[in-house]
Amino acid sequence: MDPKSKKILAAYKKLGGRIETRGKVQLPRMEDFSLWYTPGVGTVSSYLAKHPKDARSVSIKKNSVAVVSDGSAVLGLGNIGPYGALPVMEGKSLIFKNLAHIDAWPIVLDVHEPEEIIKVVKAIAPAFGGINLEDIAGPKCFEIERRLIEELDIPVMHDDQHGTAIVVLAAVLNAAKVVKKNAKKMRIAILGAGAAGSGTARLLRTYGIRDIVLADSKGIISRKRTDLSGEKLALSKITNPRNVSGEASEMIKNADVLIGLSGGGKITEAEVKSMAPRSIVFAMANPIPEIMPDVAKKAGAAVIGTGRSDFPNQVNNSLVFPGVFRGALDRGVRKITDDMKLNAARALASLIAHPSPTKILPTVLDKRVVPTIAKAIR
């Protein structure tokens, strides 16, 4: 283990966890126990048993989100299981609290089949005002999210799909201004056709961009392929209007925008050089980008973003999910719609009045971000 990694691990071990529960009321007197626990709590329990819809007004359901993962697709680290997922879900919960004042709870599941995950999430849903699905591998993530949206009366969002899609669209809109191109007419290549790639392609298309091509580990998603099924087959029918086929490098040639949602080191300098003039590269794999920013710049990219916080232009869903759920909880939203996602992306982009090559999005520390996005969720 390198010195930096040792230092990070030591900091985590010393703290022993980054979040904690804390009561909103204190219990200094017996009267307080009587009000906030027994016998007072019996009155509220009896009431909610008959009026469950009022749980939002008298329980944690009003301001709570479950951050749920089975650890099957954690960051760019892959299937590392629930224990590997726990630090990430805990970090997400910390962000929810710090940025949006939402009480979020890391829930890591040691079950992995779609029906098992759906059953568990439905079982715990009464305590929560929203469900943030995270780091669940495709293709099962699509079915899990769809079913939970249909079967629960609280907002459910797979952040890898939709949080990523919203922040990428915002970044594309402002990067297009920097390179003086019409966003809707740009050619977009997406490396990675999993949850993030799918969600991003669909939202970009909903916005009005038509020339979108994706590639997975086997090559370009095209109508010529006979090995596609499920979500990838569906994507082949609504993307790649020129029906490009072959290796991923073929779709990158002359592309205006290259979005990496795959793994570290997957994009080469030569591929960036093959892009259209004034190209845009978002290498979003974490913790190692598909191509390092200095290499992409050397290859001629005009605007470069990564998913990391230690380079300019962090294109990361942490800019999005706190505000989305803040708005959903405040307004009793039951479903996050495409219109809400589009509005959130436009709102996020609007916070940068004059985009530049190194400033296309605000940072997560910008206090305007959460309320601005929350306002778009209505």
Beta-strand relationship, 219-220 and 212-216:
antiparallel
Q: What are phi and psi of 16, to 5 degrees?
A: 70, 30
What's CA 148's distance to the chain center, in Å? Answer: 17
Whole-number Å distance between alpha carbons of 140 and 163: 18
Which DSSP symbol is given to 314? B
* Nearest residue to 258 (alpha-carbon basis) of 290, 287, 286, 218: 290
Whole-number Å distance between alpha carbons of 299 and 281: 11
149 by Cβ neighbours in 10 Å (0-12 / 13-18 / 19+) ranks as middle
Residue 214: its H or E element: strand 212-216
- Which of 61, 92, 181, 232 is catalytic? The answer is 92
Q: Is 273 a catalytic residue?
A: no
* Nearest residue to 231 (alpha-carbon basis) of 300, 279, 289, 160: 160
Helices 140-151 and 159-178, axial angle in degrees (round to 10):
110
Return the structure tokens found at 368.
């305007």
Beta bridge partners of 281: 258, 304
Helices (H), the chain: 3-15, 30-36, 40-50, 55-58, 81-100, 114-124, 140-151, 159-178, 195-207, 230-238, 248-252, 269-273, 293-298, 321-331, 338-350, 369-376
Q: Other C-beta atoms within 10 Å of 225: how many?
A: 15
Q: Is 6 a catalytic residue?
A: no
- Which of 6, 7, 12, 37 is catalytic? The answer is 37
Whole-number Å distance between alpha carbons of 358 and 356: 5
Q: What are phi and psi of 283, to 5 degrees?
A: -100, 95
250 by Cβ neighbours in 10 Å (0-12 / 13-18 / 19+) ranks as middle
Active site residues: 37, 92
